[in-house]
Structure 1
Amino acid sequence: MKKLALLGGLTPQQFLREYWHKKPLLIRQAIPGFQPLLSREDLLAMARRDDVESRLISRSGKRWQMAKGPLEVMPAIGKKGWTLLVQGVNLHDDAADTLMQSFRFIPDARLDDLMISYATEGGGVGPHFDSYDVFLLQAHGRRRWQISAQKDLSLAEGMPLKILENFQAEQEYVLEPGDMLYLPPHYAHDGVALDECMTYSIGFRAPAYQELAEGFLQFMADSVEVPGRYADPDLAPASRPAEISAAMLDRVSSEINRIRFTRDDIAIFLGEYLSEPKPTVFFDLPARPMRKEKFLQSAASRGVRLARKTRMLYRGKHLFVNGDSFTLQRQDRDALLALADHRVLSAEEVETASADVLDAFYAWYQDGWLVLR
Structure 2
Amino acid sequence: MNREPLESSTISGNLPQLTEPFSLAWLLHPVSTTDFIRSYWETAPLVVHRETPEYFSRLPGLDDVDELITATTSGPIRSVDDGLMVRTDARGTRTDRRFRLDAGGMPDVQEAYRAYHDGFSIVLNRIHHRSGVVARLCGALEVSLHHPVGANLYLTPRDSQGFLPHADTHDVFILQLHGTKEWHVADPLDSLPLASAKSGPLKSFSGFRAFTLRPGDVLYLPRGFPHEAVTGSSSSLHLTVGLHVFRWIDLVSEALALFADEHTGLRSALAPGFLDAPLDAARLATLADELARAAISQPLLMERAKARLGARVRATGKAAGGGHFRSIDAISGLTLDSVVARAHGVLCRAGSTAEEARVEFAGNYVSGPAFLAPALTFVAGHERFAVGELPGPLSAEDKIDLVGRLVSEGLLHCTDNDDGGES
For residue 241 of structure 2, the aligned residue among 187, 202, 211 is 202
For residue 72 of structure 2, the aligned residue among 41, 49, 58 is 49
Q: CA deviation at 1:334?
A: 6.1
Over 3 Å counting, the alpha-carbon distance change for 1:99 and 1:66 in structure 2 is: same
- 1:13 partner letter: T
Q: Are 1:170 and 2:205 an aligned pair?
A: no
Q: CA deviation at 1:211?
A: 4.7
What secondary structure, in the 3-state scheme, does the structure 1 residue paired with 2:205 have? coil
Q: Are 1:23 and 2:61 an aligned pair?
A: no
Q: CA deviation at 1:127?
A: 1.7
Kindly report which structure 2 residues correspond to 1:131-150, keeping only aligned pairs within 5 A, or say none: 131-150=169-188
Over 3 Å counting, the alpha-carbon distance change for 1:81 and 1:299 in structure 2 is: farther
1:16-59: per-residue Cα shift (whole Å, max 9, x none)? 22222222222211755435422445334334312577331412
What secondary structure, in the 3-state scheme, does the structure 1 residue paired with 2:150 have? strand
1:207-266: per-residue Cα shift (whole Å, max 9, x none)? 355555555555667x6497xxx9xxxxxxxxxxxxxxxxxxx9xx99xx7996733233
- 1:265 partner letter: L
Report the Cα distance in structure 1 between the residues aligned to 2:371 and 2:202, rounded to whole angstroms: 48
For residue 374 of structure 2, the aligned residue among 313, 331, 334 is 331
CA contact (8 A) 1:114 1:201 kept: yes
Report the Cα distance in structure 2 between the residues aligned to 1:287 and 1:316, rounded to whole angstroms: 29
Structure 1: unaligned runs, 5 residues or longer: 231-249
Report the Cα distance in structure 2 between the residues aligned to 1:193 and 1:278, rounded to whole angstroms: 37
Larger displacement relative to structure 2 (19-28 or 261-270): 261-270
CA contact (8 A) 1:141 1:177 kept: yes
- 1:149 partner letter: D
TM-score by length of structure 1 reads 0.68
User: What's the counterpart of residue 361 of structure 2?
Assistant: 321
What secondary structure, in the 3-state scheme, does the structure 2 residue paired with 1:28 have? strand
User: What's the counterpart of residue 78 of structure 1?
Assistant: 117
Over 3 Å counting, the alpha-carbon distance change for 1:95 and 1:204 in structure 2 is: closer
CA contact (8 A) 1:152 1:166 kept: no
User: What's the counterpart of residue 110 of structure 1?
Assistant: 147
User: What's the counterpart of residue 7 of structure 2?
Assistant: none
CA contact (8 A) 1:275 1:312 kept: no
Q: CA deviation at 1:126?
A: 2.6
What secondary structure, in the 3-state scheme, does the structure 2 residue paired with 1:198 have? strand
1:334-354: per-residue Cα shift (whole Å, max 9, x none)? 632433xx3xx24x2x22225
User: What's the counterpart of residue 413 of structure 2?
Assistant: 371
Structure 2: unaligned runs, 5 residues or longer: 1-17, 19-24, 269-282, 416-423
TM-score by length of structure 2 reads 0.61
Over 3 Å counting, the alpha-carbon distance change for 1:279 and 1:7 in structure 2 is: closer
Over 3 Å counting, the alpha-carbon distance change for 1:57 and 1:301 in structure 2 is: farther
Report the Cα distance in structure 1 between the residues aligned to 2:255 and 2:72, rounded to whole angstroms: 33
The structure that is helix-richer by fraction is: 2
Q: Are 1:97 and 2:136 an aligned pair?
A: yes
CA contact (8 A) 1:5 1:30 kept: no
Over 3 Å counting, the alpha-carbon distance change for 1:268 and 1:10 in structure 2 is: same
- 2:98 partner letter: A
1:299-346: per-residue Cα shift (whole Å, max 9, x none)? 75653333456332469999642356878966326632433xx3xx24
CA contact (8 A) 1:55 1:84 kept: yes
Taking only aligned residues, the RMSD between alpha carbons, in angstroms, comes to: 4.7
- 1:58 partner letter: V
1:63-89: per-residue Cα shift (whole Å, max 9, x none)? 332538987124214231223134253
CA contact (8 A) 1:143 1:175 kept: yes
Over 3 Å counting, the alpha-carbon distance change for 1:200 and 1:207 in structure 2 is: same
What secondary structure, in the 3-state scheme, does the structure 1 residue paired with 2:230 have? strand
Over 3 Å counting, the alpha-carbon distance change for 1:190 and 1:280 in structure 2 is: same
Over 3 Å counting, the alpha-carbon distance change for 1:29 and 1:71 in structure 2 is: farther
CA contact (8 A) 2:157 2:235 kept: yes
